[in-house]
Structure 1
């Protein structure tokens, strides 16, 4: 299972639609309670975090690192959000990407994460 926090319906639909097309289970985690419930009821492999979601993004990242250390975390956001991208990396995201790189590589990212592999490349300026 891959979980995601998206800043808007466009990104939520893109992530969910791509995962569905690949046959991968994927569900939203919009707040700490939802994240905890998903972690408790599913074998979660990864968490995708849209940094445009603001404070909840780093809150979920920190919670996931503390409560589910085996879950791979990938944070993404606009390339101009250098401070937010750096903060996500500092908070423990396993990979941090500019939104363009994330979007362009989404199918490969989802496949890699669903199989338990890391997305090792840090794609931000």
Structure 2
């Protein structure tokens, strides 16, 4: 099966929507932004995305619940789920890691390292 070129993301912050979309296009990927846990789980199973990006501060979902339920689905165990959060929210970061997120970064680190993260996931490094 060919590797997916699609990213799914749950992000409310317009700055990050633009940043992720731009970085995805430069990496030859497409990105779809979702607003509910149901959409994330259903689309992830159906489309097997390259990567799921989750803003742990998104208002439209309970991020820890999304991660827990995502990682409980056998078909999604190999799909990377990356979260980002305000650097002052150490407890939320820990909860996301405990729930099974593959990587949780501070917002600034995510923003700075996004091109490299996408390159790593596409195997073009």
TM-score bracket relative to the smaller structure: 0.7 to 0.9
Q: How many residues are matched?
A: 116
Name structure 1 gaps, 5 residues minimum: 118-125
Kindly report the root-mean-square deviation, in angstroms, between the aligned alpha carbons of the 2 structures: 1.9
Distance in 1 (alpha carbons) for counterparts of 2:57 and 2:45: 26
Structure 1 segments (4+ residues) deviating >2 Å: none
Length-normalised TM-score, structure 1: 0.81
User: 1:23 is matched with which residue?
Assistant: 28
1:1-125 equivalences in 2 (<5 Å):
1-54=6-59, 55-67=61-73, 68-115=76-123
Distance in 2 (alpha carbons) for counterparts of 1:87 and 1:11: 22
Distance in 2 (alpha carbons) for counterparts of 1:94 and 1:109: 12
Distance in 2 (alpha carbons) for counterparts of 1:43 and 1:111: 18
Post-superposition Cα deviations, 1:14-36, rounded to whole Å, max 9, x if no partner, equal 11121012211221232122113
Q: Which has the higher mean CA deviation after the structures are superposed, 42-51 or 84-93?
A: 42-51
Length-normalised TM-score, structure 2: 0.81
Name structure 2 gaps, 5 residues minimum: 1-5
